[in-house]
Amino acid sequence: MNVPMLDLKAQYVPVMGRIKEALEGVFAEHQYIMGPPVKEFENKMADYLGIKNAIGCASGTDALVLAIKALEIGEGDEIITTPFTFFATASSISRNNATPVFVDIDPLTFNLDPDKIEAAITEKTKAILPVHLFGQCADMDSIMAIAQKYNLKVIEDNAQGIGCTWNGKMSCAFGDIGTLSFFPSKNLGAMGDAGMCMTNDDDLAFKLRQLRVHGENPKYYHKWIGLNSRLDTLQAAVLGVKLDFLETWSKGRRANADFYNSHLKNIPGIRIPHIDSRAVSIYNQYTLVCEKRDELMAYLKSKGIGCAVYYPLPLHLQECFSSLGYKKGDMPVAEELSLKVLSIPIYPELTDEQKQYVCETITNFYFG
């Protein structure tokens, strides 16, 4: 049996008719830059997340770059973040000439450990940038309390967590700005690159709207040096259709996680994902902590089961950040997990047979 890591073909079956209609609408108007579907999708996202302003842009990476720029954080400033995340979380800080300061993660949730943040705060610290990794919200009560105490900004990297909640409140609604990625493998994926900034602050929203078009207002007058980073009209049309399905898809992922949890929880050598009792995850990934990880990965692949390591090398040890002066052993939790994590297919279209097969194959690996 074949169980890919993600099955986009299956995902698009129920939505393709409506997407084609929406795209035909764009083709009829030829308004490829900032056409009506952009504003329509922004409004729909603002409603869905319960946040006043949604500002579409070209990618989740650009959303982070724009967010940091809008908060005027740059040269000589520090932003505290996690080393256990996709590269863009930290590169967006460096691309604004600010310095990423890494703080180790909680071993159970893989998210930024709030208990370790205060020790990393200096006079240069301007913001905290938590990531809602794999679809589980970071401990935003603790992070916001620290931010308030030290007068720091908060940017939520919600690329992997669209629709996840903490104490009943939507991610992106805690910090000054929340960012989203619509990379095709995300729970809400475009047919290419796309991203978004979310904020309840109207002034920041106004600035973000200018920054995504070269910092211009009015046309050809530039207050800031911004980016060329608009949300593509065609992508907005696709995303507007798919957003109607997001809650159902997230429920499907949670049901799959329940299935896996019940079948895998008693296998020695494996730890199933830990979801904090205050969090509702959207399971962008279902990530096991395993003994003999590399052997398990090879075994699953040999049996036709897709799996992946997110992430094999924590960011503080990446070559491009060597000038920051971190060394092996500085972030022991992230470093250990990078050797033990393995994500397995969790997409909502998985069939019962596929899930059963994944669980049986993992069980066979450990029990022979």
The verdict on 343 binding ligand PLP (CB under 6 A) reads: no
CB of 208 to ligand PLP, least distance (A): 16
Residue 195 amino acid letter:
G
Q: Pick the stretch among 7-15, 81-89, 99-107, 319-327 that binds ligand PLP (CB under 6 A).
A: 81-89
The verdict on 239 binding ligand PLP (CB under 6 A) reads: no
Q: Per-residue x/- marks for ligand PLP, 118-137, CB under 6 A?
A: -------------x------
Separation of alpha carbons 313 and 5, rounded Å: 20
The verdict on 156 binding ligand PLP (CB under 6 A) reads: no
Separation of alpha carbons 298 and 311, rounded Å: 17
The verdict on 66 binding ligand PLP (CB under 6 A) reads: no
DSSP letters spanning 232-261: PHHHHHHHHHHHTTHHHHHHHHHHHHHHHH
Q: Which of 195, 273, 314, 348 binds ligand PLP (CB under 6 A)?
A: 195
The verdict on 283 binding ligand PLP (CB under 6 A) reads: no
- By C-beta, is 193 or 349 nearer to ligand PLP? 193
The verdict on 41 binding ligand PLP (CB under 6 A) reads: no
The verdict on 86 binding ligand PLP (CB under 6 A) reads: yes
Instruction: Return the number of other C-beta atoms located less than 10 Å from residue 200's C-beta.
Output: 18
Separation of alpha carbons 149 and 151, rounded Å: 6
The verdict on 200 binding ligand PLP (CB under 6 A) reads: no
Q: Among residues 122, 164, 320, which one has the least CA distance to residue 130?
A: 164
The verdict on 89 binding ligand PLP (CB under 6 A) reads: yes
Q: Which of 57, 88, 237, 289 binds ligand PLP (CB under 6 A)?
A: 88
The verdict on 79 binding ligand PLP (CB under 6 A) reads: no
Per-residue tokens: 92: 């967006």
Separation of alpha carbons 88 and 183, rounded Å: 13
Q: Among residues 146, 153, 159, which one has the least CA distance to residue 204?
A: 153
Q: Which of 106, 156, 157, 335 binds ligand PLP (CB under 6 A)?
A: 157
In sequence order, what are the residues at sequence separation of 6 or more whose Cβ sits closer than 8 angstroms to the Cβ of residue 323? none
Q: Are 177 and 67 in contact (CB under 8 A)?
A: yes
CB of 267 to ligand PLP, least distance (A): 28
- By C-beta, is 61 or 125 nearer to ligand PLP? 61
- By C-beta, is 41 or 365 nearer to ligand PLP? 41
- Distances 69 to 16, 64, 88, 226 between C-alpha atoms, Å: 37, 9, 15, 8
Phi, psi of 77 (to 5 degrees): -100, 155
- Tell me which residues touch ligand PLP (CB under 6 A): 59-61, 85-86, 88-89, 131, 157, 159-160, 181, 183, 193, 195
